[in-house]
Amino acid sequence: MSEKTENVSSQIFSESARAKINLYLHVTGKRADGYHLLDSLAVFAEACDELLYEPGDEELRLELTGRFGAPLGQDAAGQNNLVMKAAAMVQAAAGGAAKVPGGRLVLRKELPVASGIGGGSADAAAALRLLSRAWQVEPDSEALSLMAEKLGADVPVCLDSRAARMEGIGEKLSDAPALPPSCGILLVNCGVAVSTPEIFRRRDGHFVPRADLPDAWPDAQSLAGFLSLQSNSLQDAACLVCPPVRDVLNVLADIPDNLLVRMSGSGATCFAIFPDDATARQAAYSLSRNRPEWWVWGGGFC
């Protein structure tokens, strides 16, 4: 057993992997390699997966639990899971798997899979944070960002899990305007997994200019007013590929007090903005009773 293992073996480490929501998403161009250039305002909600790590002597393994653990499948608990890919990168940064403890990772999957709220990306980012801390690898922030970029376009923004403007293919991050002190969000997913590459392929060929952001939004109404002038360039394609997205958008639009309704990322999760988190929670409570087959979450931004 390595010295590091002895130091940490009695501890259990945990990290939250929060849902990312693209409040607007403009496809502004396309790179020669086929990746799309974006301008997007990403925010994070308290809805999350949880990643837990218990160091041990045995080879590192991953268990999946939670509402979406089983649907993600045992296959995904192997090396293909983004958590294990992230773990392999931190091991490599430590000089190899033999240099750090093994043990058990448990991913409590509460965010729907392939749903436009970056669940897998948030898990990967949580694994980078968690294991570099537990193994005391402490790569500098540039090295950590590079690992994140290699894992997926949404992983860099999930590393800090705080509101940011995403540009480039998602790796160029800058500060978001100050969000309103009071604002609620309702997230709804119809249960159909949507493939991100397919949605990018099926979008119409238009490019949308980069948004002109203010310094701050004093209240939820002004945020919604700004967002109503922006769009999600992938929403129409997602409605074609996955028609229930349109039903969800229509249902959200009918909820009293909603200020704006849109899809996040490449779908299928849609959101509605409310004046405060209590109103969003109340809307989630009512909707989950009417539509028990949908995944529904209401609350505030982080």
Ligand X SMILES: Nc1ncnc2c1ncn2[C@@H]1O[C@H](COP(=O)(O)OP(=O)(O)OP(=O)(O)O)[C@@H](O)[C@H]1O
Ligand Y SMILES: C[C@](O)(CO)[C@H](O)COP(=O)(O)OP(=O)(O)OC[C@H]1O[C@@H](n2ccc(N)nc2=O)[C@H](O)[C@@H]1O
Interface with ligand X (CB under 6 A): 72, 76, 81-83, 113-121, 123, 154, 196, 265-266
Residue 43 backbone phi and psi in degrees, to 5: -125, 165
Cβ atoms of 191 and 122 closer than 8 Å: no
117 belongs to an annotated ligand binding site: yes
**Least separation, in Å, of the C-beta of 231 and ligand X?**
17
Q: Is 112 annotated as a binding residue?
A: yes
Q: At what angle do helices 141-151 and 82-93 cross, to 10 degrees?
A: 150
- Asked whether residue 122 is marked as a ligand-binding residue, the answer is yes
Concerning whether 172 is annotated as a catalytic residue, the answer is no
- Is residue 154 among the annotated active site residues? yes
CA-based nearest residue to 116, from 194, 231, 24, 9: 194
What stretches of 9-57 show up as alpha helix (H) in DSSP?
none
| Residue 76 contact among ligand Y, ligand X, none, beta carbon within 5 to 8 Å by kind | ligand X
CA gap 108, 116 in Å, rounded: 18
Query: What's the one-letter identity of residue 246?
Result: R
Q: Which does 230 bind (CB under 5 to 8 A by kind): ligand Y, ligand X, none?
A: none
Binding site for ligand Y (CB under 6 A): 22, 25, 35-36, 38, 40, 118, 121, 152-154, 169-170, 196-197, 200, 265-266
Q: Which tokens go with 99? A: 């240099």
Partnered with residue 300 across adjacent β-strands are 184
The answer to whether 72 and 49 are in contact (CB under 8 A) is no
228 is in an annotated binding site: no
From the list ligand Y, ligand X, none, pick the one residue 40 interacts with, judged by a Cβ distance below 5 to 8 Å according to partner type: ligand Y
Grouping H, G, I as helix, E, B as strand and the rest as coil, residue 8 is: helix
CA distance 301 to 163: 9
Please, where are the H alpha helices in 41-192?
A: 69-72, 82-93, 119-134, 141-151, 155-160
For residues 68, 72, 77, 81, the Cα torsion angle rounded to the nearest 10 degrees is -110
* Residue 126 or 255 having the CB closest to ligand X: 126
Is 114 annotated as ligand-binding?
yes
| DSSP-assigned states of every residue in 234-257 | THHHHHHH-THHHHHHHHHHTSTT
78 is in an annotated binding site: no
Shortest reach from residue 164's CB to ligand Y, in Å: 11
Residue 117 contacts which entry, ligand X, ligand Y, none (Cβ below 5-8 A, type-dependent)? ligand X
Quote the tokens at residue 226. 């700004």
> Which residue lies nearer to ligand Y by CB, 73 or 95?
73
Shortest gap between Cβ of 96 and ligand X (angstroms)? Answer: 23
Catalytic residue, from 20, 85, 109, 277: name it.
20
Q: In the complex with ligand X, which residue's Cβ is closer, 70 or 216?
A: 70
The region that residue 78 occupies, defined by phi over 0 for left and psi between -120 and 50 for alpha, beta otherwise, is beta
Q: Compute the least distance from the CB of residue 176 to ligand Y, in Å.
A: 14
Closest chain position to ligand Y (CB): 152
| 116 has binding-site annotation | yes
For ligand X, which residue has the nearest CB? Answer: 120
**Catalytic pick among 49, 154, 236, 277:** 154
Partner that binds at residue 115, options ligand X, ligand Y, none, CB closer than 5 to 8 Å by kind: ligand X
Least distance to ligand X, CB of residue 124, Å: 7
Give the residue numbers annotated as catalytic, written as ranges: 20, 154
- Binding site membership for ATP: which residues? 112-122
